[in-house]
Amino acid sequence: MAEENKKEEAVETAETQVQEAPAKQEAPAKQEDPQEFLENFDWDKYEEGIERVEDEKLAEFEQLVKENFVDTADEEVVKGTITHITDREAIIDINAKSEGVISLNEFRYNPDLQVGDTVDVLIDIREDKNGQLVLSHRKARTIKAWENVNEAHDKEEVVTGYVKCRTKGGMIVDVFGIEAFLPGSQIDVKPIRDYDQYVGKTMEFKVVKINQEFKNVVVSHKALIEADIEEQKKEIISQLEKGQVLEGVVKNITSYGVFIDLGGVDGLVHITDLSWSRINHPNEVVDLDQKLNVVILDFDDNKSRIQLGIKQLEKHPWDALGDEIKIGDKVKGKVVVIADYGAFLEVAEGVEGLIHVSEMSWSTHLRSAQDFVNVGDELEAVVLTLDREDRKMSLGLKQLTPDPWTDITSKYPVGSRHKGIVRNYTNFGVFVELEEGIDGLIYISDLSWTKKIKHPSEFVSVGDEMEVEVLELDVDGRKLSLGHKQTQENPWDKYEDEFGEGTTHKAAITEIVDKGAIIEFNEDITAFVPQRHMEKEDGKKLQRGEEAEFKIIEFNKDYKRVVASHTAIFKEEEQRNVRAARRKSAQADENKPTLGDANEQLQALKDKMEGKGKK
């Protein structure tokens, strides 16, 4: 009913305006509000021809409609004014036939929304089944946002965005209502360690990449400050000079040094230039984001690599070292570094002395420095050399104890027997420590009377205790010659009769070698059997593990050489048989009658017969 009244009023208003049109041309009346005219115009009566409007007035009317009414085409973004806000909805006037309604959920990003605010809306549907104009603010924001993002990218404009949250590799930023990706490397020119500090902040960005197909946007905050930093960098680099002291901020810490931000220009403080004292890692001296003064030590031609120093800002500790320290003095310090060749003892801050491994013990058998000291040990040492100009100092530990070689002749005379610990061995012998600082060498030939030892490791192990006899003593050369076999009776003396030449023994072949075989009669006596003496009576050769009788054909006590033969066993038997046969044959020949014997017997018979005849 209200709508019909509204249309009637519009028709009456239109008729009145048409009738008064000539008068207005003659005498202009009060200007009517176009908006009010359009709202009161009855479109139905006009379209049905009930009301007639002059062409001139109709043209003016159409112009007013064109200027004041919105063309409600679908999917078009227009401006709308909020006329009323309820608990759930906002009423939007876009100068159309009717007003639109949008849920307040689409305005959650703007809690300060008020009546009279102008907002972008999308005309979703000009008129639904209920005659209602359907609008969308969310879709309008999206479309408008993409237009703004593309425009900002094309014109390289600076945009403002709200950092919403963290994500893998960076941050999510709201730009014009679009969720854009801010890579971690594009947040700042310096490495970012705490991403959470940026969440909830509104920052300026530059749109650096847009993927239209997947609707992805990448923004950068770093790009905005790089240009300014580049200008600052050029200015700083142009003013750099060696020896110049600047203030910087610790940007990054590595195992080899510290990177300092000098205001757009980075420089490196090597770990050796952080402190006069020796340090294991730079984080012992500096912290991230710490402000400190540095001195420029050097840079390349382009000044792109700047070498900085911190310790150079302080006086060298050697220059402050007191004159009271001299050679022969005892000093105390802490072990800061251990190397294979020795250890460094810090006797004052930044002042170190080297304790060579040879100065750690009186022993001539050198070992690793780690066998004597550990990092962090607090020690006392003796100053051996001191060079203040070259800032070098050598120290000794063994000088704190008496030299054990002072009374060596009385403690270890030749022929005396002692016990020692095997410390090391080489191809030619074994080093035995009798006490700290007293080492002796046992040559491989003096380890055993009987065993054939190819390497000392076959006979003894490091750490074993051995009984030794002092064979030779060289005090000036600080050398001891020791023997182990001399502490035992020479078994070759007692074996000389038992295994003398011509004796026979039973044994098994233990090893086949190139020119014969090896047999073992006991744990001390090992014999060699030449190949020609390995032949058995049947003509075959003895094999490994085969047991047989052997005859000793050579026994040399001085060279510890024993040679045996199996062939000699049956050869000798054959020879014995031959000799026996010869003797038996000879005896048989002696009993056999000869021609002379026959003649003698015949003569005797003849004489006997002749004697009988004479009688």
pLDDT in tens, 196-249: 888 999 988 888 888 888 888 899 888 887 767 777 777 777 778 888 898 999
Phi-psi region of 85 (alpha: psi -120 to 50; beta: other; left: phi over 0): beta
Q: Which CATH superfamily is domain 239-313 in?
A: Nucleic acid-binding proteins (2.40.50.140)
Same fold, 156-225 and 239-313: yes
Q: Over the stretch 316-343, which tens digit does the pLDDT of each residue have?
A: 888 877 777 888 889 999 998 888 889 9
Boundaries of every domain in the chain: 2-68, 76-142, 156-225, 239-313, 317-400, 408-487, 491-615
pLDDT at 270 exceeding the cut of 90 = yes
CB within 8 A of 227, min separation 6: which ones?
Answer: none
Nearest to 394 by CA among 323, 316, 329, 311: 329
Residue position matching structure tokens 């000079």: 241
Domain 76-142 has CATH 3.10.20.10: no
Mean pLDDT of the chain: 80
Sign of CA dihedral 421, 472, 475, 355: negative
**CA–CA distance, 610 with 249 (Å, rounded to integer):** 160
CATH class name, domain 156-225: mainly beta
- Residues 329, 362: contact at Cβ < 8 Å? no
**Which is higher by pLDDT, 282 or 607?**
282
DSSP string, 533-586: GSB-TTSPBP-TT-EEEEEEEEEETTTTEEEEESHHHHHHHHHHHHHHHHHHHH
Phi-psi region of 319 (alpha: psi -120 to 50; beta: other; left: phi over 0): alpha
CATH topology for the 491-615 domain: OB fold (Dihydrolipoamide Acetyltransferase, E2P) (2.40.50)
**Which is higher by pLDDT, 483 or 152?**
483
pLDDT at 354 exceeding the cut of 90 = yes
- Residues 566, 509: contact at Cβ < 8 Å? no
**Which is higher by pLDDT, 239 or 359?**
359
CATH number (2.40.50.140, 3.40.50.620, 3.40.50.2000, 3.30.310.50) of 408-487 reads 2.40.50.140
CATH class name, domain 317-400: mainly beta
CB within 8 A of 251, min separation 6: which ones?
Answer: 190, 191, 259, 260, 261, 266, 288
DSSP class of residue 32 equals P
Mean pLDDT computed over 258-281: 87
The whole model's pTM is what?
A: 0.42
Q: How far is CA 483 from the centre of its chain?
A: 49
* Confidence label for 594 from pLDDT (cuts 50, 70 and 90): low
**CA–CA distance, 380 with 575 (Å, rounded to integer):** 84
Query: Which of 55-59, 113-117, 448-452, 537-541 has the weakest average pLDDT?
Result: 55-59
